[in-house]
Amino acid sequence: MSFRLNIKYYLVHSLGFTNKEAIRAIENRKLKVNGSVIIENIEFDETWEIYLDDKLLKPNTPFTYIALYKPRGIETTNNEAIADNLRTVFKFEKHLGYAGRLDKESEGLLLLSNDGKYIQSLSSPIKDKEKEYIVTVNKPITDEFITEMSRGVDIMICKTKPCVLEKISDFEFRIILTEGKNRQIRRMCKALGYLVARLIRVRIDTIHLGDLKPGEFREYKI
């Protein structure tokens, strides 16, 4: 499956147009993308330049890829109206989407980019991209716990897919998922009588957290 971003979607979701305003701008030939007048809802590349009449709406923008260590206690959102949002720890001028949302109490690797197709490919449930975590729980880990977690767990909203688990110590394990249900690991542990004390994501696909500390980031290439 390929992921396509069209100009109307970009105008609405990234530049604040209403649906009607976006359609009118296209139909009235008021949009110019990379120097050409747009007359239909074309597939759009987020690096491109956009003019509305003679007003520059978006300059040419190279793709940026960021690996960020999201600290515990920070919400995975760029919305500055929400307390403890990402921008309280991470200031960056470019509009970035993110892959692999982490709940507020979880920490670790978050990937950000202005490359929408890339972000969608990492987030798509049909792509089976691996996400690796180190998890600390509140009581000793048993062989039964490892077996049941690996097979998949009924978390009320669904039964999770089989996954890879490795016991690291009495209270700590490594888990590799290929799906990303809301608070999935916490729900899986709770269903088996455990509570998560700490959860750190250390890898998404081929990108590793490495030696980043909470709040630190690095750029990478794909």
**CATH number for the domain that contains residue 214:** 3.30.70.580
Residues 144 and 194 in one domain: yes
Query: How many domains does the structure of the chain reveal?
Result: 3
Q: Looking at the predicted structure, is the pLDDT value of residue 125 above 80?
A: no
Alpha carbon separation from 111 to 93, 137, 183 (Å, rounded): 16, 25, 18
Please compute Rg for the chain using Cα positions.
21
Mean pLDDT, rounded, of the chain: 92
The residue range of the domain holding 15 is 7-58
Asked if pLDDT for residue 174 goes beyond 60, the answer is yes
**pLDDT category of residue 171 using cuts at 50, 70 and 90:** very high
pLDDT at 136 over 70: yes
Q: What is the amino acid identity at position 216?
A: E
Query: 1-10, 20-29, 139-148: lowest mean pLDDT where?
Result: 1-10
* Stretch 141-152: mean pLDDT: 98
Q: Around Cβ 47, how many Cβ atoms within 10 Å?
A: 14
Residue 1 has pLDDT above 80, yes or no: no
What local confidence, expressed as pLDDT, does residue 3 receive? 47
What's the chain's length in residues?
A: 222
Residues 93, 78 contacting (CB under 8 angstroms): no
pLDDT score recorded for residue 4: 61
- Do 190 and 88 fall into the same domain? no
pLDDT band at 2 (very low <50, low <70, confident <90, very high): very low
- In tens, the pLDDT along 57-116 reads 988 878 899 999 999 999 998 888 999 999 999 887 667 888 888 999 999 999 999 887
- Which residues are catalytic, by number? 103
Statement to judge: residues 190 and 159 lie in one domain: yes
pLDDT of residue 23: 94
* Domain assignment of residue 1, yes or no: no
Residues 176 and 73 in one domain: no
